[in-house]
Amino acid sequence: MSILFKDTKERRMYINKVLAVHYPEFKTGSLYFGEYLKRFIKDQTVLDAGCGAGGLISEFKTLAKTLIGVDSDSEALSNNHIVDQKILGDLENLPQQENSIDIVSCEFVLEHLRSPERVFAEFARVLKPGGRLIFLTPNHYNPIMIMSRITPLTIHHLFRKYFLKRTEKPYKTYYAANSYNTIIKLGAEVGLVVGEIKRAGNPEYLCFSKLTVLPSVLLEKIINRSSLDFLKMYLVGYLVKS
């Protein structure tokens, strides 16, 4: 039996099997993110900011009245068959009118923002009073993210392709909006107040082979049950327009 994974599906199935035995209460950032989408989307207008070719929001499309996708990557946008309306453009200059959007969904996008203060201002402008910005993004203080910031983009691509068995296109990262306090500050400056922010782990990035899965899962368990939880990989939560 090979200790290497043949594809992403096999790797995730193996990780989930180990989690079920050694850390059954574990919840990923994506699970928290999905719970927020399910809780707050109620037949409303949803803007999927940086939608790409699609993401987790596809599972909750039927909850929305209208799903609008915005992305600056024309190729990814053309491959998106989830959204009702596609907009090729920059998040710093959204075409939507003020107070026209109920929910802004932002899945793994904040880390790619060069000027997050401008994007947050746009989110606040287009959101209706009481509207929510729901986000999932890497945590600036996670050790893997620290290594990621000093690693060339080509290395990212090779790592994701050959070790993580992922083929999606990597994008340049800035990590300018990726700490707990920074998100709070950016929101407060434009009238978005914290509803909730959680830290969530992910053993997947250290699971290069079947031999590394159990140590990765146990490491997540240790971090979660200690004062080291600020090192968890993801920040996930929502801000509300006051």
- Cβ–Cβ < 8 Å for 105, 134: yes
Domain assignment present for residue 146? The answer is yes
Q: Which of 90-99, 125-134, 155-164 has the lowest mean pLDDT?
A: 155-164
Domain assignment present for residue 36? The answer is yes
Alpha carbon distance 200, 224 (integer Å): 9
∠ CA(75), CA(77), CA(82), 5° rounding?
A: 140
Domain assignment present for residue 25? The answer is yes
Domain assignment present for residue 1? The answer is no
CATH number of the domain encompassing residue 73: 3.40.50.150
Alpha carbon distance 1, 211 (integer Å): 12
Higher pLDDT, 224 or 29: 29
Please provide residue 182's backbone torsions phi and psi, each rounded to the nearest 5 degrees. -65, -40
Q: Which helix (H) or strand (E) holds 97?
A: none
What pLDDT score does 2 carry? 83
Confidence check: pLDDT of 75 > 90:
yes
Domain assignment present for residue 2? The answer is no
Would you say how long the chain is, in residues? 242
- As a whole number, mean pLDDT of residues 56-76 equals 96
- As a whole number, mean pLDDT of residues 124-136 equals 98
Q: What is the pTM of this model?
A: 0.89
Alpha carbon distance 2, 171 (integer Å): 32
Domain assignment present for residue 59? The answer is yes
Domain assignment present for residue 3? The answer is no
What pLDDT score does 73 carry? 95
What pLDDT score does 160 carry? 56
- Domain membership of residue 72 as a residue range: 8-241
Domain assignment present for residue 191? The answer is yes
Tell me how many domains the chain contains: 1
What pLDDT score does 226 carry? 82
Higher pLDDT, 169 or 74: 74
Please provide residue 173's backbone torsions phi and psi, each rounded to the nearest 5 degrees. -115, 150
Amino acid in position 129: P
